[in-house]
A and B are shown apart, each in its own frame.
Chain A
Amino acid sequence: MTRIEARPLVDVRDVTLQYKTPEHLVTATYKVSCQVEAGDRYVILGPSGCGKSTLLKAIGGFIKPVGGSIVVNGREVREPGPDRMMVFQEFEQLMPWKTVLQNVMFPMLAAGKYLRSEARDRALSAIEKVGLAKFKGVYPHMLSGGMKMRVAIARAMALEPDVLLMDEPFAALDALTRRKMQEELLALWDSLRFTVLFVTHSIEEAIVVGSRILILSPHPGRVRAELEAGALSYADVDTPEFGALSKRIHSLLFEEHAAPSALTPEPKLQLAATPR
């Protein structure tokens, strides 16, 4: 995972994504290409309804592209798999019928890659890393939002996926917890150097969390720009560089297209409606 290779870890080429609502066929993204390299904190940023979550779900293997191809670590993405772990926005992703430890162990056992004792050791060290060692025997309903998020990250990290896919993971948190979680994510990245793909609609979050920022245009999502942002963190919020970058992103997002199109509500994806 940490090996630096010449070819990109995640290679998205000309991906067009469409999904069906009961009445319409909606095009979410149109011919999007991007390359994520190992160790990137790659942020996909765009206004509501630009298909950024759909793009992430396609990389996760939940949606098949109508056109183009997605290759992760040399393998074409065809179905969901534990080499691309998703961390979702909602807190329901933890299984309420399993303790924290069991939750972290579960994907390792389900994937069949590890023995039970080995899975347990890995889970324990992952829980330790996110600072929840004291809570390993507790059920998720007793945890706070931020703690659940840390369990979700520990669960994803313990499996050592090629890439971590995060779909607005902090959007449902309050501002203070969100900032703390962003800092924790960065600290974790500093010590583990995983590759993460991160979807957000907050410019500030994109600059703080991301090392590369892909900006999508609204409805359907098309590539607008890709910027470098690795040097800036919360410590730089008041610096002119931060302000300039933020302003630049803002203008890329909103200036050309009129504001109303950016404000169209994001249609809820109905993945459950397509039986497999």
Chain B
Amino acid sequence: MSVTHPFKGVPARPRPDFECEPLDASGIGDVERRLSPIERILNNDAVRRAGVLIALLVVWELYARWADNPLLFPTFTTTLETFVHDLLDGTLLDRTRTSLYPLALGYVGGIVLAAILTSLAVSSRIGADILTTLTAMFNPLPAIAVLPLALIWFGLGIPSLVFVIIHSVLWAVSLSTLTGFRSVPETLRLSGRNYGLKGIRYVALILIPAAFPTILAGLKIGWAFAWRTLVAAELVFGVSSRSGGLGWYIFEARAQLETPKVFAGLFTVILIGLLVESVIFRAIAAKTIQKWGMQR
């Protein structure tokens, strides 16, 4: 039987076999070599991101100096001075504490409610229908739009804030958790049931860890929504007791045309957001989904 070229019909040319010793590889040096210090530093995410941050701050400082209008656009150094001043005299800490209390209540409340709703949704078809419909209705509804209603129901104060924060957290977290549960591989579900796991044990031991990447993403989004909603709500209805939160700090500073204070307030909001994202959530991710190889 003669072998022919598949396209041209030319017989394949017979070629001799050969064997040889592998080349001497010592010329390349160590097979595994450490990267140069600069390369290793550049491979560090934190270093690169800090670089981006510093570049932004430099641009801010340069632009503010060039614009030379402290009323509209204070420099980074003035903002930093105001920030440090208000931090040291306790104003900012006090405002932050006032803000964090309803934030924590609302965030935790929203997560607990989301956990209950999604557990119902995975255990029955009607539960899933209820959750999907509710999420579709309320997720696009801005929390601030519910604030007037909250004020009528609960009056000025923490209950109203908690209500709108729960509204902003609940739907986002439920939606991502349900999506996560639904994308758990069929084999994993079957093996869980094979061990005789049912009900809440099945959800806790199989579904939640398997869906954890999506759940964590939902928690992050929920956190951002909660923080946003809180600051916005404080801006709208201002002070409830004698000391308002960070939103009220910003609002007050605007009313008195103290622009560096407005910037310092915004700066604090950003700083807390960054801190939670890059310390708390990153630590959770490193301990869980990255260690498990579910996310790189």
Contact = CB atoms under 8 A, between A and B. Distances in A.
Interface of A: 57, 60, 62, 79-82, 84-86, 88-90, 92-93, 95-97, 106-107, 110-111, 139-142, 271-272, 275
A84 B188 CA distance: 16
Contact of A275 (B124, B185, B205): B124
A86 B186 CA distance: 13
A97 B294 CA distance: 8
Name which of A79, A85, A110 has the most chain B CB atoms within 10 A of its CB. Answer: A110
Contacts of B186: 271-272
Contacts of B212: 97
Q: Is the interface of A mostly helix, strand, loop or mixed?
A: mixed
A275 B125 contact: yes
A72 to B, nearest CB: 13
Contact of B191 (A88, A142, A275): A88
Given A96-B293, A97-B292, A110-B196, A86 B191 contact: yes
A92 B209 contact: no
A110 B210 contact: no
Given A80-B193, A139-B293, A272-B186, 11 more contacts: A57-B190, A79-B196, A81-B196, A89-B187, A92-B185, A92-B187, A110-B197, A139-B291, A142-B293, A271-B190, A272-B182
Q: What are the 5 A-B residue pairs with the smallest beta carbon separation, nearest first?
A: A141-B293, A92-B185, A110-B195, A107-B195, A97-B209
A163 to B, nearest CB: 12
B132 interface: no
A178 to B, nearest CB: 18
Nearest to B185: A92
Contact of A92 (B123, B188, B194, B201): B188
Interface string B261-296: 000000000000000000000000000100111100
A96 B188 CA distance: 10
Contacts of A85: 194
Interface string B183-217: 00111111101111100010001100110100000
Interface in B161-185: 182, 185
Contacts of B195: 82, 106-107, 110-111
Nearest to B191: A93
B181 to A, nearest CB: 10
A111 B118 CA distance: 25
B197 A95 contact: no
B212 to A, nearest CB: 7
A147 to B, nearest CB: 14
Contacts of B288: 97
Given A92-B185, A139-B293, A60 B210 contact: no
Contacts of A110: 195-197, 201, 205
B196 A82 contact: yes
Contact of B193 (A62, A96, A275): A62
A263 to B, nearest CB: 24
A259 to B, nearest CB: 26
B293 A140 contact: yes
B196 A96 contact: no
B188 A95 contact: yes
User: Which of B124, B125, B128, B191 has most A Cβ within 10 Å?
Assistant: B191
A139 B292 contact: yes
Interface centre among B189, B190, B196, B294 (most CB of A within 10 A): B190
Contacts of A84: 194
A155 to B, nearest CB: 9
A95 B209 contact: yes
Contacts of B125: 275
B185 A80 contact: no
